[in-house]
A and B are shown apart, each in its own frame.
Chain A
Amino acid sequence: MLSVRNVTRWTAAIFIVLASAAIFSLVPDSGQAGEAVRRFDIKANQYAYDPSRIVVNRGDEVHIRLASRDVVHGFFMEGHDMDAFIYPGRLLFNLRRTSLDAAYVPVEELVFRAERSGKYRYRCSVTCGTLHPFMQGEMIVEPNYPYRAGMGASIGILLAGLLLMFTDSREPPLPGRGRLDLIRAVPALGWLLRRRWFQFAFMLPGMAFLLLFIIAGFWGSPIGNRNIVITFVWILWWFLLITVLLPFGSRIWCMACPFPFFGEWIQRKRLISVRADARTMWKKFRKWPAQLSNIWLQNLLFLGLCTISAVLVTRPVTTAAVLLGLVLVATAIAAVYRHRTFCNFLCPVSGFLSLYSMVAVVEVRPRDAAACRDCRSKSCMAGGEAGWGCPWTLNPGRLERNNYCGMCMECVKACPNDNMTLNLRPFCADVDIKGTDEAWKALIMVSVALVYSVTLLGTWGTVKSWANISEVGDWAGFLIYAGIIWIGSLAVFPGIWALACGLGRHLAGSPRIAVKTLFRRYAYLLVPLGLTAWVAFSVPLMMVNWSYIQATASDPMGWGWNLLGTADLAWKPLWPEYMVYVQLPMLLIGLVFSLMRGYAIACSLWRNRRSAILSLLPPAVVCTAIVMSFVTLFAG
């Protein structure tokens, strides 16, 4: 409602955010004003620079001498048009201006003036081994305005949020109620979704790619960044999944995913059509045990893959083996258990897709829930003439959340009353986390995003060698690394979260609601925040490695093919110096959504507005702290 009061409130809130960002930016420097001459000797080794962080002041003249301790490395300074090629065992190194595409010139040192403040990473530009794409250091040019503004804005958002909550006079605000029936709005979409071949048309190309990836992984080049299985799966697919498919298409990936292809074929004995006995044929398949019917197995499998991720995402053979393994397991499970048991309870990708699909702007829902209650045929559940019963074993007529809906559109086809549809809706419209397994998933995802940001996007060579177990073989270090992932995400962070929720309950002064309930419900705060943190993590992967995607599209196996003429492109990141201007807004938007939806959840738990806000306060502070740690990692 646009009232004077609301305009004032929102103006004040925006002012608080901006003022907080400005105050943090204007804190006087501890360092000297610029124009000094700063000299650094930077030594490269697999997979870090020493020193990995240099700090200069704006206006300083920076001299850098480069050397390599083991193999040939590169040195690409973001935003400074410099790319060096460092031979080990030589005192001179080769330098070129990337913008001129000029030849390398041997020099003794790099000299430049640090003119713009902020964080500039120096990255290895010559493939130097397995973890090469993650080898980087950072130059901070003080005063680091983006970082300070990001920290200030995070705190500002928390304060502004509190102000808005305390001055809110609406009746309990429910999250995102507007819906647009896409099938009514775009009749062609309805036609397309009702085609029997709709899902098959997505799965088949996926199958072709999967086959190509597996061939490339086993028989292609062992160099990850020159093999399509790595660049297309871990960079392109991951980026698209996190930034586009999930937020804008919910679990649309699960509709197109080729993993369950063979399993579903074995079950249905049909690729496209529906069998006449679709309602009765499932009797010969077993039900998944009730005590395993949650996402805990997915959580553990996901953590398992995360533990070996540094190996997984850099060795084509490991990725190919995991892909092949997932296809085999999915097929075997489908041969024994009914429907999409693998997807629902085992698939390590499915777990976080189900969690983050709550954020998505689309949903499959009944148009009229009452009509579904009165429906006798229940074709959407049991199967009908035009569609299979829900493979995800849901009751589509009573769908309230996106979590376990795989967007296969069978219910849209099956419904004899044309009552199922695809809606467009606001972001973060599902807010109800129903199980502790889901709450833990939210905590795990945020912890892993933090660990990855440190390991893969950080500058710490020691952590990289701990994670890089198959090459370095430092088992003690690997145990520390694995311990941090498992204990951190399963015990430490949930412990902090439980404490925050307990404190919130205490502040609210109402023993009516159990800490366990708060732990579960408020875990939703970590959903928008977690997704935007993953977006902020995935954006650099794409910007930095875009050339590798182009090159491997042309030469998928690293065998010297050149199908598209892009195989010999030199590595050049896309505007890496502006990365932080994508990452910081993403993180802040995530925090805004967390607080907004957290407030709605709190109001649904407490009648008293003040108690509701006080109970939300400690988890909100934890969320702000998480955002600030990401801001520090990405911009600080």
Chain B
Amino acid sequence: MKEKWAVICVLFVLLAVPLMVFYYQGIYRPSRYNVKVITITGVGSRGTWTLKTVNGLNYWWESFAPATIHLRLDEAVVFRFLSADVFHQFYVPELGIGPVNVDPGYVREVRFKATKAGIFHYYCTSMCGGCHFYMQGWIVITPPGEKPAEPRPISCSLCLPAFERPSEAEAVALGEYLYQSMGCVTCHGLEGRGGVHNYNYIKGTVPAHRRTAAKIFLTDEEDRQAFLELIRNRADLVNPEEPTDISRYRLVMSRFEAAVELIENGKNAVPLDLAGPEPPLQMPAWKHKLNHRQIYAIMAYFISLFPTEDDGLTEG
């Protein structure tokens, strides 16, 4: 008799534990929301916000496709934000969502009603590792009856450039490599073309860098090559050992140093509408991630770029 009860107890435990977990998570909790629930998980190591459930079974080996979130106009939803690894911030300035602090282990919930149609850019606005700058995507809000747009997802393929890390000696090539691998390219555009929209930013779009040479008064082709040569030779730019032939050298250097300082210390984006939301894209301070030589290499890459006719107008 006792034995029979014991077997019943064992079977009860073996069934009850999984069933209770399943019931509570799968049936009871969703039933408490009267609207659609969208769970979004930030995966810092892949640079994506994903709609997939991230757990012990998939976190270590799956790549998670960036989420494109589709909503119908006037649809009310609850966003639940989770992190699978480190601290993230979810921000959609145009829709007034966030920045939501997504602390690992805590679930943040945000209620939202889709009141305007369009394609809206979401971001991670707290640096979360090597792939941070790719951690963006789209919220698509479609009026009833229309076919939803399918914007191209922003994915991290650029994170690992096709070429090998160049040696420190090849300043321009190293600069190009760093420009891509550190994620600068996601905001400042391929080959420094700029043009990435920064909501409520006074200049509208993120500055381009194709005219850096001209901006630091290296207007002459010979001067430009000579200056690149100085960087390549790791010369002391501030107090050059040999007098250079570069015209207006002190003026060039003061502009050059100002640019380097901006990369080192970062800069907050000035809002267009002071009462409006913070612009999502801010220039981070790089001084703890890049050393002086690496920043010079990035500058060398900018100086080596040439504006072409089609991007003359996007300069910041």
Contacts and interface: CB of A to CB of B under 8 A. Distances in A.
A71 B284 CA distance: 13
A130 B105 CA distance: 12
Interface string B1-37: 0110011011001101110010011000100000000
A69 B288 contact: yes
A87 interface: yes
A320 interface: yes
A219 B52 CA distance: 12
A91 B87 contact: no
A218 B57 CA distance: 5
B10 A217 contact: no
Contacts of A317: 55-57, 59-60
Interface string A550-577: 0100000111110000011000000000
B115 interface: no
Given A271-B3, A271-B7, A272-B3, A218 B285 contact: no
B85 interface: yes
B105 A68 contact: no
Interface string A37-80: 00000010000000000000000000000011111100000000
A15 interface: no
B84 interface: yes
Contact of A89 (B85, B87, B127, B130): B127
A211 B107 CA distance: 24
A192 B243 CA distance: 95
Interface string B34-73: 0000000000100000000011110110000000000000
Contacts, number: 147
A127 B7 CA distance: 43
A127 B87 contact: yes
Contacts of A204: 9-10, 13
Contacts of A217: 56
A223 B43 CA distance: 11
A20 to B, nearest CB: 46
Nearest to A44: B288
Given A128-B87, A223-B104, A211 B2 contact: no
B293 interface: no
A446 to B, nearest CB: 33
Contact of B127 (A71, A200, A225, A558): A71
Chain B interface size range: 35 or more
B126 interface: yes
B99 to A, nearest CB: 11
B272 interface: no
Contacts of A376: none
A351 B54 CA distance: 36
B120 interface: no
Nearest to B128: A71
B266 A222 contact: no
A225 B83 CA distance: 13
B13 A88 contact: no
Nearest to B127: A88
A43 B288 CA distance: 8
Nearest to B108: A560
B107 A220 contact: no
A285 interface: no
Interface in A418-476: 470
The dominant DSSP class at the B interface is loop
A262 to B, nearest CB: 9
A548 B7 CA distance: 35
B106 A215 contact: no
B265 interface: yes
B181 to A, nearest CB: 14
Given A88-B289, A271-B3, A211 B105 contact: no
Contacts of A89: 127, 266, 284-286, 289
A573 B120 CA distance: 41
Interface string B128-168: 11100000000000000000000000000000000000000
A273 B3 contact: yes
A175 interface: no
Contacts of B10: 204, 207, 265, 271
A71 B60 CA distance: 19
Contact of A226 (B16, B105, B109): B105
A90 B57 contact: no
B17 to A, nearest CB: 4
B82 interface: yes
A316 B56 contact: yes
Nearest to B7: A271
A572 B84 CA distance: 21
B49 to A, nearest CB: 16
A67 B287 CA distance: 10
A104 B13 CA distance: 45
A610 B3 CA distance: 62
B128 A211 contact: no
A208 B127 contact: no
A91 B285 contact: yes
B117 interface: no
Contacts of A222: 54-56, 59-60, 84-85
Name the residue in A200, A225, A559 with the highest tally of chain B Cβ atoms < 10 Å from its Cβ: A559
B57 A219 contact: yes
Contacts of A219: 55-57
A231 to B, nearest CB: 11
B107 A560 contact: yes
Interface string A586-603: 000000000000000000
A367 interface: no
A220 B54 CA distance: 8
Contacts of B18: 211, 215
B127 A223 contact: no
A212 interface: yes
Contacts of B284: 88-90
Contact of B107 (A88, A126, A559): A559
B124 to A, nearest CB: 11
B315 interface: no
Given A317-B57, A320-B56, A226 B25 contact: no
B80 interface: yes
A9 interface: no
A567 B56 CA distance: 20
A34 interface: no
A328 to B, nearest CB: 15
A89 B130 CA distance: 12
A87 B127 contact: yes
A200 B3 CA distance: 11
Interface in A238-278: 265, 270-273
Interface string A191-213: 00000110010001001100110
Enumerate the 9 nearest inter-chain pairs by beta-carbon distance, A residue then B residue, closest first: A89-B284, A560-B107, A226-B105, A317-B56, A72-B87, A127-B104, A222-B59, A271-B6, A88-B127
26 contacts: A43-B288, A67-B287, A70-B127, A70-B129, A72-B127, A88-B126, A127-B83, A129-B85, A130-B85, A196-B2, A207-B13, A212-B17, A218-B55, A222-B54, A222-B59, A226-B105, A270-B3, A271-B10, A272-B2, A273-B2, A316-B56, A317-B60, A551-B105, A559-B107, A560-B109, A561-B25
Given A211-B14, A270-B3, 7 more contacts: A68-B127, A89-B286, A219-B56, A273-B2, A273-B3, A470-B60, A558-B82
Interface of A: 43, 67-72, 87-91, 126-130, 196-197, 200, 204, 207-208, 211-212, 215, 217-223, 225-227, 265, 270-273, 315-317, 320, 470, 551, 557-561, 567-568
